[in-house]
Chains A and B, each alone.
Chain A
Amino acid sequence: MISIQHISKSYKEVQAVHDISLEVQKGELFGLIGPDGAGKTTLMRILMTLLIPDEGHATMGGFDVVKDYKRIRNIVGYMPGRFSLYQDLTVEENLNFFATVFKTTVAENYDLIRDIYIQIEPFKKRLAGKLSGGMKQKLALSCALIHKPEILVLDEPTTGVDAVSRKEFWGMLKKLQEKGITILVSTPYMDEAMLCNRVALMQKGKVLDIDTPHKLVENYTRKLYAIKSKDMHRLILDLREYEKTDSAFAFGQYLHVTGKDDEVEATEFENYLLKKDHYELEVFDIPPTIEDVFMNMMIE
């Protein structure tokens, strides 16, 4: 459905996107995962025909992003990085506007957006600018769907939104996927990668890897330990001083630690730390999360 081949793009001296190639299958929920500056927005704008790449080709639904931009603009729904609807129009008015721009009506495709729109329908006469973050998201999504697009492109739809709204949003995306829409999403939140069919990990304009989240985790070959003690702050300092530690990073309640050459046993860590007077100590091995995978790739 989406084909990207050796796309590159720079602004002034900054290389925003560097030789990126990937394919998204019809009906997939595909994630572009990476921090600010990874090139996610630039790549999406190229796919949305809003920017022209310096090198490379891409097609959306079989149409070339440079030559056939008019046709692409008819079949794709877009939710750009920040709230881009009309703040001085009401919820209803925004939705109607986009329906007419796409030569359809709200009624025609209402069943597609019903689950989403129903949550903001009580506020339909409120000005869009006065909605909360979560509601703005839902409105933007509804407007992007109103013309029954084949492909949905969402640029960081969950950034700056609280954890509850984020979960709800992904729930909505899953339901849309069931209706056969191909979805391309970008996010800086690593945990959201697990909710996608496949992901591309991106950093500084390049793709680090592309695969299903499970395979990415499987391919992580390092031995990873979770370590916890009563004094977490001192724990991390002590571990970093230990010559057998390769990396030690905070991951919420636990530290994720790798040993040099992956040959360090859990007991070795335990002994060292007990000698350092850590108590309520826990050391055990764990499978990696996408974040561990990403950070490992960053270091390499």
Chain B
Amino acid sequence: MEKKVIEVRNLVKKFGSFVANDHLNFDVYKGEIFGFLGANGAGKTTAMKILCGLSSPTSGEVKVAGFDIYKETEKVKRNIGYMSQKFSLYEDMTISENIRFFSGIYGISPKDRKEKQEELLKDLGLESAKDSLIGSLPLGWKQKLAFSVAIFHDPKIVFLDEPTGGVDPITRRKFWDLIYEASDRGITVFVTTHYMDEAEYCNRVSIMNEGRIEALDTPENLKQQYGVKNMDEVFLKIARNKE
């Protein structure tokens, strides 16, 4: 039986009278690549913020990396990584400075940091850019760096909020190579995306609509269940049903 790294029971989040998350129930297992899909305004971002400890639920039980999100928020934050499209690394600092900063926050010793930094730069082929300001690097490099820094401290789970938006098709795929590698290392990947082909790369996928989870299963099973050929059509069927 695989270990659960995220457990959500009856999660509710309200903003005034508006119910953004309506009794969500799901688990995520160690090493999974879990796709969290849904239309804009469906409640994805709200739920993700709660899982990251950035926002409190209105009610419900949530455990992330084995820690209770209400009482042990700090421990949760230590054991997760986060990367979003809007922010990743500080543009006015170099790669080294960024790594140094985040290492400090997550308590990585200087010795470990130096080793891991060398490895990271070599893997990405970016040794020459070590002392360049992030702001001066091309978008594709920034993406990859941001991801690598997000998992630098070997978190149990890494949350990715639409990490590949607007990026060219090759960089997009190279990014998913990194996701696979992380997953092989045992890091659970929780990712949201608007690219339906990326949904196919996930082990399991959940689709949210109007605050509820409408579907949760492997891509294969979902396609069979809805009698369609690809995830794009699964999504269409679910979204259109509600209209």
Interface positions of A (Cβ within 8 A of B) = 34-37, 132-134, 159-165, 167, 188, 190, 203, 232-233, 236, 249-253, 291, 294-295, 298-299
B165 touches A159 (CB 8 A): yes
Among listed B90-98, B103-111, B235-243, interface-contacting one: B235-243
Chain A proximity of B166: nearest CB distance (Å): 4
Asked if B124 is at the interface of the complex by the 8 Å CB criterion, the answer is no
Q: List 29 A-B contacts (CB under 8 A).
A: A35-B169, A35-B171, A36-B167, A37-B138, A132-B40, A133-B41, A160-B40, A160-B162, A160-B165, A161-B40, A162-B235, A162-B239, A163-B196, A163-B232, A163-B235, A164-B240, A165-B39, A188-B167, A232-B201, A233-B180, A233-B183, A252-B200, A252-B201, A252-B230, A253-B219, A291-B169, A294-B169, A295-B169, A298-B168
| Interface bin, chain B | 35 or more
A162 touches B39 (CB 8 A): yes
Residue of A nearest to B198 (CB): A252
Residue of B nearest to A254 (CB): B200
A162 touches B180 (CB 8 A): no
Partner of A251, one of B170, B177, B180, B197: B197
Residue of A nearest to B42 (CB): A162
Asked if B231 is at the interface of the complex by the 8 Å CB criterion, the answer is yes
Residue of B nearest to A131 (CB): B41
Partner of A132, one of B41, B168, B180, B231: B41
Chain B proximity of A204: nearest CB distance (Å): 9
A256 to B144, CA, bound (A): 22
With A35-B139, A162-B235, A253-B230 given, can you name 14 additional A-B contacts, CB distance below 8 Å? Answer: A34-B168, A35-B167, A36-B168, A37-B138, A134-B39, A160-B162, A161-B194, A163-B194, A163-B239, A164-B236, A164-B239, A250-B173, A252-B200, A298-B168
Q: Given that A253-B230, A295-B169 are contacting pairs, would A163 and B236 also be in contact in the complex, using a CB cutoff of 8 Å?
A: yes
**Complex interface: chain A residues within 8 A of B240 (CB):** 164
Partner of A203, one of B168, B197, B235, B236: B168
Chain B proximity of A126: nearest CB distance (Å): 14
Q: Given that A35-B168, A188-B166, A252-B196 are contacting pairs, would A164 and B39 also be in contact in the complex, using a CB cutoff of 8 Å?
A: yes
A252 touches B197 (CB 8 A): yes
Instruction: Type the 1/0 row for B158-199, where 1 means its CB is closer than 8 Å to any CB of A.
Output: 000010011111110100110010011000000000101111
Asked if B155 is at the interface of the complex by the 8 Å CB criterion, the answer is no
**Complex interface: chain B residues within 8 A of A299 (CB):** 170
B41 touches A160 (CB 8 A): no
A64 to B194, CA, bound (A): 38
**Complex interface: chain B residues within 8 A of A160 (CB):** 40, 162, 165, 194
Residue of B nearest to A250 (CB): B173
Asked if B57 is at the interface of the complex by the 8 Å CB criterion, the answer is no
A288 to B69, CA, bound (A): 47
Chain B proximity of A172: nearest CB distance (Å): 16
Chain A proximity of B69: nearest CB distance (Å): 27
A161 to B38, CA, bound (A): 10
Chain B proximity of A233: nearest CB distance (Å): 5
**Complex interface: chain B residues within 8 A of A251 (CB):** 197
**Complex interface: chain A residues within 8 A of B173 (CB):** 249-250
A253 touches B40 (CB 8 A): no
**Complex interface: chain B residues within 8 A of A250 (CB):** 173, 176, 197, 201
Residue of B nearest to A34 (CB): B168
A164 touches B235 (CB 8 A): yes
**Complex interface: chain B residues within 8 A of A253 (CB):** 200, 219, 230
A36 touches B166 (CB 8 A): yes
Instruction: Across the A-B interface, give the 10 residue pairs with the lowest CB-CB distance, nearest first.
Output: A252-B197, A35-B168, A162-B39, A36-B166, A133-B40, A252-B200, A164-B239, A132-B41, A253-B200, A233-B180
Most buried by B among A188, A232, A250, A298: A250
A107 to B40, CA, bound (A): 31
Chain B proximity of A98: nearest CB distance (Å): 24
**Complex interface: chain B residues within 8 A of A36 (CB):** 139, 166-168
Chain A proximity of B231: nearest CB distance (Å): 7
**Complex interface: chain B residues within 8 A of A164 (CB):** 39, 235-236, 239-240
**Complex interface: chain A residues within 8 A of B232 (CB):** 163
A288 to B38, CA, bound (A): 28
**Complex interface: chain B residues within 8 A of A190 (CB):** 169
**Complex interface: chain B residues within 8 A of A159 (CB):** 165-166
A160 to B45, CA, bound (A): 13
Most buried by B among A134, A159, A160, A233: A233
